[in-house]
Structure 1
């Protein structure tokens, strides 16, 4: 019995994410989600206690899944700016978006009215900002980010940029989010620093890293 417990709960969460992405917050009911997950209606209340709790859990399930890619990109790239460029490319690669991405937008709206959801979403945002701040500080120490940049302030702005770009791409899939981000990130590199993605330390003087476009 214990072996079935986690898969059933996950099925319910993913069904709730799909329903919310298709029809919005209010469309997530115990019966609709149970039918979508091919589970007994009573299991929604068994696992989550209430429909509101299911909705919040579905949002956080979607947030965690959608943040996996950007977090890995930022951690694994040669520096934070490369990681951000990779994260934006991955985030907007799906055109009109995944169900999880559309649920992120629902979370932003309902977090203004639901204090529990707001608290959880705020925790996730702050964790992402802290991670980004640490990586930006590392890049700055390595000479890959302008010395006059404020790592913590940039983390706030760049996190908000990612959220905004995602929303624009969901509305207008032809938005050039990756190209626009690359242009902005180039301004944050010191004159002569490597441009990062696609070219590491050996090509410091090539690409858009020279000082001609900087003030």
Structure 2
């Protein structure tokens, strides 16, 4: 069965995985310790053994999911050479997300909850700022004007496209690319 530390790490992984599943299914506020523990296959006391609170577990789960997704996007920076290729790679990475899929809903729920939870707002802010900084550095090396501001607007636009896709499925790569390309094309 493994060492105590290995069993503890497995319990933490199951809890965070369960949180990532439950938040989109039920909504941030409807995830309870009991429901989360049941989904993870542990007792409710295990939640508080591994995390200081249910809120801390939810923050950890969401931030881990966001870091994973943004790490993929950051890795794509190494494989593209031009701002146009960057935009195409970013939009291609969005294809699996229609705004109603679990990952999109997870992000939306987390952004909404962050308005009421300073700890969550700060954690998400750090993740997003890290991505924007990487993107700005990449844009700067390609001599894109105002790289920091361009990175901020591009990241916000990508978030907005995901949010709006749930309402407007017409926001496809083909529809969005020409508009966003103007952000990264040299003046």
Instruction: Please say if residues 11 and 42 of structure 2, whose CA atoms lie closer than 8 Å, have aligned partners that are also in contact.
Output: yes
Answer yes or no: is 1:184 the counterpart of 2:187: no
Select the structure with the greater relative contact order (CA < 8 A; seq sep ≥ 6).
2
Note closer, same or farther for the CA distance 1:66–1:25 as it changes in structure 2 (3 Å cut). Answer: same
Cα RMSD of the aligned pairs, angstroms, is: 1.9
Note closer, same or farther for the CA distance 1:96–1:12 as it changes in structure 2 (3 Å cut). Answer: same
Q: Which residues in structure 2 correspond to 1:63-82 (within 5 Å)?
A: 63-82=66-85
Question: What TM-score do you get using the length of structure 2 for normalisation?
Answer: 0.88
Match for residue 114 of structure 1?
A: 117
- Alignment size in residue pairs: 183
Other structure's SS at 1:82 match: helix
Match for residue 195 of structure 1?
A: none
Q: Which runs of 5+ in 2 are unaligned?
A: none
Q: Which residues in structure 2 correspond to 1:58-137 (within 5 Å)?
A: 58-137=61-140
CA-to-aligned-CA distance 1:130-189 (integer Å, 9 cap, x gap): 11100101112xxxx4xxx211110111010011011112333x2333123320244343
Moved beyond 6 Å, runs of 4+: none
Question: What TM-score do you get using the length of structure 1 for normalisation?
Answer: 0.77
Note closer, same or farther for the CA distance 1:171–1:58 as it changes in structure 2 (3 Å cut). Answer: farther
Report the alpha carbon displacement of residue 87 of structure 1 after superposing the two structures with TM: 1.8
Q: Which runs of 5+ in 1 are unaligned?
A: 192-215
Q: Which residues in structure 2 correspond to 1:1-215 (within 5 Å)?
A: 1-140=4-143, 145=144, 149-172=145-168, 174-187=169-182, 188-190=184-186
Report the alpha carbon displacement of residue 190 of structure 1 after superposing the two structures with TM: 4.1
Instruction: Please say if residues 98 and 104 of structure 2, whose CA atoms lie closer than 8 Å, have aligned partners that are also in contact.
Output: no
